[in-house]
Amino acid sequence: MGSFMLRRIIYVIPALIAVSLISFLVIAIPPGDFVTRTAELRAAQGDIMPIAEQEAMRRAYGLDLPIMVQYWNWISGVVLRGDFGYSFSFNLPVKDVIWPRLGLTVVLSVASLLFIWVVAIPIGIYSAVRRYSAGDYVATFLGFLGLAIPNFLLALAVMYVAFAWFGMNVGGLFSPEYLEAPWSWDRVLDLLNHLWLPMIVLGTAGTASVIRVIRANLMDELHKPYVTAARAKGKGEFGLLMKYPVRHALNPFVSGQNDIFVEIVSGGTIVAIVMGLQTTGPLLLDSLRTQDMYMAASFILMLSVLVVVGTLLSDLLLAWLDPRIRYQQG
């Protein structure tokens, strides 16, 4: 087990190096940079930016260096000093912009994932055990509905209902008075107050698919021989269900959870724009449009790190759950 874990953790290193390189190159290779973009914007306002000024600006930002040198400067800063470079459009160090956003993204994604589990696992188990019952059909119907409705549309509808009928302050993750406030207990409560709406919106599609996965996995396990054997020992039906088939059905489910997490992290952009959430999505989109390269590369890098770490966690969780993996790959 120790060797298995160590190997898995070490596998992460080359993955991260590749991810950082690719995320930087994706931003840096296409023609044009922040300076060209600025010049275009100024030109649109009728203000021609002289070539010499552009070159001076490039030199100032280090954009005239070869790409690999730029990469090296950036990544060595990230790794050695936690310095993600400078955001041209914000005129701030990237790390000052990125960390609060990333933190909120993680909080929202984890909350959505927990919401999915709490709702979907019991419904999935019920659906599998009472297959073809009225409850199963209702769950299946709602599940397909949840899969079919685009998230941003659901966001609009939910926001309208919350605002028009319940007079709630919707949009964003904070009330206006806490938006720029330092962290305090009241701010946390305010966050929780705003969190549940996007959490549900982001979680519906995942909930629907998890219900299907649990139902299908569990139906495969319900009539396995070891279930008969345990029933023949005299075990009661509920304890039997939880100890054997549900536990067995969890393994393939756990290995699939990372995909859902990735989907929530990266797929939430449109919802975040619609709901005005201070997560990474909208900012990443902006920085790509303005070619704010350190900002964009840093966002992509950190989101990829989240995904890689998520995969690692789900692998380790699976190994912890399943002795076959623990003992046979160690």
Partner 1 sequence: MDNLVEIRGLRITFAGAVDVVTGLDLDIPAGKTLCLVGESGCGKSVTAKAILQVIDHPGRVSGGAINLRQANGDVLDIAATRPTSPVMRHVRGADIAMIHQEPMSFLSPLYTIGNQISEALTLHRKVSEKEARAEGIKMLEQVGMPDPERRYDSYTFQLSGGQRQRAMIAMALINQPRLLIADEPTTALDVTTQANILDLLAQLQRDSGMAVLFITHDLGVVAEIADEVAVMYLGKIVERGPVKEVLENPRHPYTRGLLASMPRLDGDFKAPLKAIPGMVPPPALRPTGCSFHPRCEWAVAGFCNTISVLETELGNDHMVACHAYGPQAGRIDRSAARATAAVAAIEKREESAEPLLSVRDLHKHFPIRAGFFQRQTGAVRAVNDISLDIYPGETLGLVGESGCGKSTLGQTIVGLHRADSGAIRFADGSHEPVDLLTARGATAKRLRTDIRMIFQDPTGSLNPRMRVRDIIGEVLQVNSRYSAGEIEARVQVLLSRVGLSPDYAERYPHAFSGGQRQRIAIARALASDPRLVIADEAVSALDVSVQTQIINMMKSLQAEMGLTYLFVSHDLGVIANISDRVAVMYAGRIVEIGSTEAIFRNPRHPYTEALLAAIPGRGVGKSTDRIRLGGHVPDPSRQVAGCAFADRCQYAQPACRAVMPPLDGTPDHRFACIRADELRLRTVTGKPEMVDA
Which residues of this chain interact with partner 1, rule CB under 8 A?
A: 3, 6-7, 223-226, 228-237, 243-244, 247-248, 321-324, 327-328
Shortest distance, position 114 Cβ to partner 1, whole Å: 24
Question: Which residues are registered as beta bridge partners of 87?
Answer: 92
Shortest distance, position 125 Cβ to partner 1, whole Å: 17
Q: Which is nearer to partner 1, 74 or 244 (CB)?
A: 244
Q: Which is nearer to partner 1, 22 or 219 (CB)?
A: 219
d(CA 32, CA 35): 8
**93: phi then psi, degrees, rounded to nearest 5:** -60, 140
Dig out the tokens for 60 from the structure.
Answer: 């100032």
Q: Which is nearer to partner 1, 292 or 315 (CB)?
A: 315
Shortest distance, position 325 Cβ to partner 1, whole Å: 11
- CA distances for 94 relative to 30, 83, 87, 252, 295, angstroms: 21, 8, 5, 39, 6
Shortest distance, position 19 Cβ to partner 1, whole Å: 24
d(CA 155, CA 198): 7
Q: Which is nearer to partner 1, 190 or 322 (CB)?
A: 322
Shortest distance, position 127 Cβ to partner 1, whole Å: 16
Shortest distance, position 14 Cβ to partner 1, whole Å: 15
Q: Which is nearer to partner 1, 39 or 214 (CB)?
A: 214
Q: Which is nearer to partner 1, 150 or 239 (CB)?
A: 239
Question: Which residues are registered as beta bridge partners of 93?
Answer: 86
SS3 1: coil
- Strands in the chain per DSSP E: 86-87, 92-93
- CA distances for 162 relative to 147, 156, 171, 245, 265, angstroms: 22, 10, 10, 40, 24
Question: Which residues are registered as beta bridge partners of 92?
Answer: 87
Shortest distance, position 299 Cβ to partner 1, whole Å: 34
Q: Which is nearer to partner 1, 10 or 51 (CB)?
A: 10
DSSP string, 73-112: HHHHIIIII----EETTTTEEHHHHHHHHHHHHHHHHHHH
- Count the neighbouring beta carbons within 10 Å of the beta carbon of residue 13: 10
CB 310 within 8 A of CB 264: no
